Amino acid sequence: MAQHTTLAGRVALVTGGNRGIGAGISRVLAQQGCAVAINYRADQASAEKTRVGIETAGGQARIYACDIGAAYAPVRDMVDRIAADFGKLDILVSNAGVNIPAMSTAEMDLDQMRQVMDANFYGALYSVKAATPHLRRAGRGDAVFISSISAIKLPALRMPYGASKGALEALAITYSKEEVRHGIRANIIRPGLIETEMGEKVVQRRGLKNLEEAYRIAPYGRLCQPEDIGRAVAFLCSDAASYMTGTTLTVDGGGLDWLPPVAKT
């Protein structure tokens, strides 16, 4: 694999970096010269696989288990351990996230609502709070928050996910303004449909059998890959984006209008 060194010498934490979009982000950052700390919650096998793939390609990676939405202290301990292991931490990619089955607000399962907020919002808050002292020390620090086009589309029956991503974006924009004076850039990426386990559930809710069926009707003859998001992250962390903060990049191939509408439950 060709090694580019746009991000040579930098150290990145990718939450949920073991599989799906996070694994694509981890691989692209490693290709561009970052040492990568791969966080995962439960799936150690995929974390090991992503780590081995990076190392086989000549990159540097380690894996770190932590449920980032459960409480602040374990996240802080993990972040401090990463900085000690690699000597610093200067990029945080807040990617970990969950979704739940469609349900109306009137019939909301409140425990599931909390689970979504814990993973998608509090996990990001704990991560960025713990990472900030390290990012400030780095001279240039970058925080990239993986949101979703759902944050602005706010589809019916998806309130927990939309609310969690809206709150995540409020956190990211506010944080970007607070940290300008400390040399930190904070930006948002809004993916559309990406080819991952979560992406497969999205197409099934819209009446397609699987992702293969989606391929036949997708824009540009393909589905968006985790690496497409990885390249957007790498750009935002690079010198090419050194004057960008508090901004949002949408990576969705022009929207999801090519998919059938969400089926009613």
Candidates 34-42, 133-141, 171-179, 230-238; binding stretch for ligand NDP (CB under 6 A): 34-42
Residues in CB range of 174: below 8 A, 6 or more apart? none
Cβ-based nearer residue to ligand NDP, 191 or 230: 191
Measure the CA–CA gap between 14 and 22, rounded to whole angstroms: 7
Query: Burial, 254: exposed, middle or buried (Cβ in 10 Å; 0-12, 13-18, 19+)?
Result: exposed
User: Should residue 51 be labelled a site residue for ligand NDP when binding is judged by CB under 6 A?
Assistant: no
User: Should residue 21 be labelled a site residue for ligand NDP when binding is judged by CB under 6 A?
Assistant: yes
Residue 215 among the catalytic residues: no
Residues in CB range of 148: below 8 A, 6 or more apart? 97, 161, 165, 190, 191
Q: How far is the CB of 54 from ligand NDP (least distance, A)?
A: 15
Instruction: Confirm if 74 and 67 have CB atoms less than 8 A apart.
Output: yes
* Rg of the chain (C-alpha set): 18
User: Should residue 191 be labelled a site residue for ligand NDP when binding is judged by CB under 6 A?
Assistant: yes
Which residue from 1, 8, 42, 156 is in contact with ligand NDP, where contact means CB under 6 A?
A: 42
For ligand NDP, the binding residues in 63-122 under the rule CB under 6 A are: 67-69, 95-98, 119
Going by the DSSP 8-state scheme, the letter that residue 121 receives in this structure is: I
User: Should residue 16 be labelled a site residue for ligand NDP when binding is judged by CB under 6 A?
Assistant: yes
Q: How far is the CB of 119 from ligand NDP (least distance, A)?
A: 4
Would you put residue 229 in left (φ > 0), alpha (ψ -120 to 50) or beta? alpha
Site track 197-226 with ligand NDP (rule: CB under 6 A), x = hit: xxx--x------------------------
Instruction: Confirm if 76 and 89 have CB atoms less than 8 A apart.
Output: no
Q: Which residues bind ligand NDP (CB under 6 A)?
A: 15-16, 18-22, 39-43, 67-69, 95-98, 119, 123, 146, 148, 191, 193-194, 196-199, 202
Residues annotated as catalytic (active site), given as ranges: 161
